[in-house]
Amino acid sequence: MFINILSVSVAIAFLVIVLELVRRQRLKEQYSLLWILFSIVLLIVSLNVSLMEWIADQLGVKYAPAVLFLFGLLFCFSLILHLTIVITKLTSQVLRLSQELAILKAREALYGKNN
């Protein structure tokens, strides 16, 4: 019972923190969607003990609250994958911008600043 109360409290606190970070524009909306979705799923599973037990039974987990940790682990993996995709895209953009800047500097050196 304690783990359910703790997980509901953590899910609510987490949701409030994410929404506050978005409101203060310290977290972009596109990244906050993952966090909000995770908080809501955690809250639903934590509030509905029979759902948690059913999921645990379907997965063959002996201790039902361990499903919460499984969801957390899966979320971490999906977040890492998402951030890796974002980093890859940003790396490509930085490379392209660096190349364009080098070309502009070369043209400036060749033709002078006034032309």
CB 10 within 8 A of CB 45: no
Written as six digits, the tokens of 3 are 């783990």
pLDDT in tens, the chain (115 residues): 787 788 889 889 999 999 999 999 998 888 788 889 888 988 898 888 899 899 999 999 999 888 888 888 998 998 899 889 999 999 999 999 999 999 999 999 999 876 5
Separation of alpha carbons 112 and 55, rounded Å: 69
Residues 6 or more apart from 39 whose CB is under 8 A from it?
11, 12, 14, 15, 18
Range of the domain at 6: 2-111
Number of domains present in the structure of the chain: 1
Separation of alpha carbons 73 and 45, rounded Å: 15
User: What pTM, to 2 d.p., does this model score?
Assistant: 0.68
pLDDT at 42: 84
Rg (CA), the chain: 23
Written as six digits, the tokens of 52 are 């948690």
pLDDT at 115: 56
At which residue do the structure tokens 């940003």 appear? 90
Written as six digits, the tokens of 41 are 């799923």
